[in-house]
Amino acid sequence: MKRLLPSLFLIGLVTGCATHLPADAQNSAPRAPKNTPAKSTAASAPYAQRADAQLWAREMAARQHLDLAWIQAQLAQARFLPQVPRLMTPAPKTSTTARDWGDYRRRFIDPVRINAGVRFWDQNADTLARAEAMFGVPAEMVVGIIGVETIYGRNMGNLRVLDSLATLAFDFPQAHPRAAERQRYFQGELEQFLVMMYNVGTPTTEPRGSYAGAMGLGQFMPTSWAQWAVDFDRDGRIDLFNSAADAIGSVANYFKAHGWVSGQPVWYPALFNTDRLNLPTLLAPDIRPSFTAAQMVELGVVPQGGLDHDGPLALIELKNGEAAPSYLVGTQNFYTITRYNWSSYYATAVYDLGQEVKAARQNRAPEVAQPATIPDLAPATTATAP
């Protein structure tokens, strides 16, 4: 990508209005027409010969006021990637293996990532400090995101973005429980990608990324790149592949845009009053902050150190395989991390990796998350404010 990006994604040339997220916020993505759900026809018919792809091309040309022949030529170059629908298909529910926070954490927090994170922070300390001052997002959170996403640029994906997005736009796996919604989302991402490439004159076959079409150190989807990426190194262009500064500023800007509250904790330890504990009510909103501190106490959970917290809270559940699950109390900032990936495991791993890297630089013990299990006994007096 070294050759491509000096001219790619110039400031002011593209616009967008979608999120980076794989969850409900994707509903705000620019939606392409509701084509017939994808069938497994790609192996026998190139996209240039597919009626659904050509209908989409005509409607995109009308929406974006682009040359239809150019759009059709790009689809003619797009290749179906059979591995992409498989990766998007949910695992069969027959599996008896329970999710395990410990296993998940070990996938993303290890000496390789921590050491790489220390080097990344050392090399970009001034930029991280400038981003923190400008956006209010701590350096360790930006470091955590980029480390979990790409190991600081080591693994940004090697699939052609055009192929990944075309495959998901026209051949999204119908086994997925939200197949129609997700297909529309990826049609919007393909549309934004083509608009970006058209505006800067870059061949659509050059950018490489993940199987979902995410790009760069921070793995931004095209709509996220268009709306929240910033030229943080001030060289007149946005380059999330080769400019660590642009990646740092863009992740921080993304967090700010999605509700990051400067100075607010990400989580509080959970203390339990099992005489009152109402887990179904507390877990019903999932990871969306929905309760005041006083309401949580009434429902049997005391946010340790957060009784005076200003803002909504959520009880976060982390399963531990066959063992009892553990919990922590998430704030708006925890929820903001999940705007990147709708997963409490992901958000906790990002937080922990950032803390591990920060502690390694300072040669001290890390202040990682401390999920707590519900005690077997229920002495109400133990669930008091610290």
Give the chain's end-to-end CA distance (angstroms, integer): 52
Cα 371 from Cα 129, distance rounded (Å): 29
Cα 290 from Cα 20, distance rounded (Å): 23
Q: Which CB contacts under 8 angstroms, 24+ apart, belong to 71-77?
A: 71/194, 72/48, 74/162, 74/194, 74/197, 74/204, 75/47, 75/48, 75/166, 76/46, 76/47, 76/48, 77/162, 77/204, 77/205
Catalytic position from the list 59, 132, 140, 149: 149
Task: Quote the tokens at residue 120.
Answer: 């990344």
Q: Is 149 a catalytic residue?
A: yes
Please tell me the number of Cα atoms within 13 Å of 45 on its side-chain side. 14
Torsion sign across C-alpha atoms 355, 356, 357, 358: positive
DSSP for residue 41: -
Q: Are 183 and 169 in contact (CB under 8 A)?
A: yes
Q: Are 112 and 151 in contact (CB under 8 A)?
A: yes
Q: Are 157 and 218 in contact (CB under 8 A)?
A: no
Length of the chain in terms of residues written = 386
Name which of 302, 295, 252, 296 is nearest 272 in CA terms: 302
Cα 328 from Cα 108, distance rounded (Å): 19
Cα 219 from Cα 247, distance rounded (Å): 9
Q: What single letter denotes the amino acid at residue 256?
A: K
Decide: helix, strand or coil at residue 262. coil
Q: What single letter denotes the amino acid at residue 52?
A: D
Name the residues annotated as catalytic. Answer: 149
